[in-house]
Amino acid sequence: MATANIKQVARHAGVSLGTVSNVLNRPDTVAPATRQRVLDAITELGYVRNDSARQLRAGHSRTVAIVVLDVANPFFTDLVRGAEQVVEDAGAMLVVCNSGEDSARERRHLDLLQEQRVRGVLITPVGHGSQPHLDMLIDRDIPVVLVDRGTGQASRCSVAVDDVRGGRLAMDHLLERAHRRIAYVGGPFSIAQVADRHAGAAAALEDHSDAELRVATTTSLTVAAGRHAAEDLLALPALQRPTAVFCANDLIALGVLQEMTARGLRVPADVAIVGYDDIEFAGAAAVPLSSVRQPREQLGRTAAQLLLEEASSGETHRHRHVVFQPELVVRQSSDQPRR
């Protein structure tokens, strides 16, 4: 059944269109008895407000969108929580879209957000595939802020953590614990954060010619991908097997931890593990996980603040690229020297 329109509500309540509009937008200007009659008509007819039309007439929407790589990753839950606080304090609403690390799906979300003329878009892009779609949003005066992804691009703001430094922190820690056969588990490398963390780890090796960094590339940043990568590492001949594993994020690290312990290895005695993000489950793991901490809620808050600044200041806005510093949190999963 088609939903009722505002005319049917007015007729049903025996009031003018203007009165129904006042009940919806300025309810305190309508006499209580009349207001209740209109609200009863809305309920009885099942009227649903067409907010996008009203918002379009007003020239802008009250909806901000965030497109995340993986809603199952607690990193994004915390990031969204931070953004949501700022957006709702500004009287707007945040809607969450999940690209699932799939470029085509990400582009479908961006097309819809453009049609809906949202107030702005926060996004952790899957890769470079959606660049034209992001440019299209900006051409239509819909600001875009890159989150957890720094680029220095002139056409948009960004908020990120120095992932190259984060990779170096993890590697320096493992090298200091006397590990020399180390694996980096993560992927795809089309996700810039994955590539940057690896770059930092590789740079740390430059001062240790006796050390090697084996890359185990994964197709996603999930627990399952970590388990499969651990299986491959365990299939290596004993003298080639790494004594430490640095993972591109905590979900992968939890998968590596699960597989290694399931196969009877002791963590860290037989293999040390370091993750990235420091999500809540890292510290709560069966073997508490060392991890490179990202200020997740602060990333979300800052990204939302930049977006709302740009959405309200228009031409006078100057794009900013905020970079936070990572912090290594050492826990049991890597906190002893290699035997």
DSSP-derived letter for residue 4 is P
For the CB of residue 281, give the shortest distance to ligand RIB in the complex, in Å.
Answer: 12
Report if residue 124 touches ligand RIB, rule: CB under 6 A.
yes
Residues touching ligand RIB, count (CB under 6 A): 11
Cα–Cα distance for residue pair 300/84, rounded to 1 Å = 8
- Residues 248-307 close enough to bind ligand RIB by CB under 6 A: 249, 276-277
Pick the closer one to ligand RIB by CB: 47 or 76.
76
Structure tokens at 118: 């949202």
Measured from the CB of residue 248, what is the shortest distance to ligand RIB in angstroms? 7
Check if the beta carbon of residue 45 is closer than 8 Å to that of residue 12. Answer: yes
Q: Which of residues 133-162 bind ligand RIB (CB under 6 A)?
A: 148
Pick 15 or 200: Cβ nearer ligand RIB: 200
Q: Does 191 bind ligand RIB (CB under 6 A)?
A: yes
Instruction: Report the residue closest to ligand RIB, judged by CB.
Output: 249
Which of 100, 137, 140 lies closest to 122, judged by CA?
A: 137
Distances (CA, A) of 63 to 45, 53, 88, 95, 320: 26, 13, 10, 7, 22
Sign of CA dihedral 177, 183, 187, 192: positive
Q: Are 247 and 276 in contact (CB under 8 A)?
A: yes
Q: Which two tokens stand for residue 240?
A: 């080639």
Measured in whole angstroms, how far is the alpha carbon of residue 36 from the centre of its chain?
42
**Closer to ligand RIB by Cβ: residue 187 or 268:** 187
Q: For 277, list phi and psi in degrees, rounded to 5.
A: 125, -40
**What part of residues 50-89 is at the interface with ligand RIB (CB under 6 A)?**
69, 73, 75
Min separation Cβ 76 and ligand RIB, Å: 7
Interaction pattern, residues 207-236, with ligand RIB; x per rule: CB under 6 A: --------------x---------------
Q: Decide if residue 310 touches ligand RIB (CB under 6 A).
A: no
By beta-carbon proximity to ligand RIB, the closer residue of 12 and 173 is: 173
Q: Which is nearer to ligand RIB, 73 or 302 (CB)?
A: 73
Least distance to ligand RIB, CB of residue 148, Å: 5
CB of 211 to ligand RIB, least distance (A): 24
Q: Which is nearer to ligand RIB, 20 or 69 (by Cβ)?
A: 69
Give the three-state DSSP class for 87: helix
- DSSP 3-state of 120: strand
Write out the two tokens for 209: 């010619």
User: Min. distance of Cβ 275 from ligand RIB in angstroms?
Assistant: 9
Q: Which residue lies nearer to ligand RIB by CB, 15 or 69?
A: 69
CA dihedral 153, 143, 121, 162 (to 10 degrees): 30
Q: To which H or E segment does residue 90 belong?
A: none
Query: Minimum distance between the CB of residue 27 and ligand RIB, rounded to whole angstroms?
Result: 42
In the chain, the N- to C-terminal Cα span, in Å, equals 71
Q: Which is nearer to ligand RIB, 12 or 331 (CB)?
A: 331
Q: How far is CA 171 from the centre of its chain?
A: 24
By CB under 6 A, tell whether 184 contacts ligand RIB: no
| Cα angle 336-176-270, degrees, rounded to a multiple of 5 | 40
Binding residues for ligand RIB (CB under 6 A): 69, 73, 75, 124, 148, 191, 193, 221, 249, 276-277
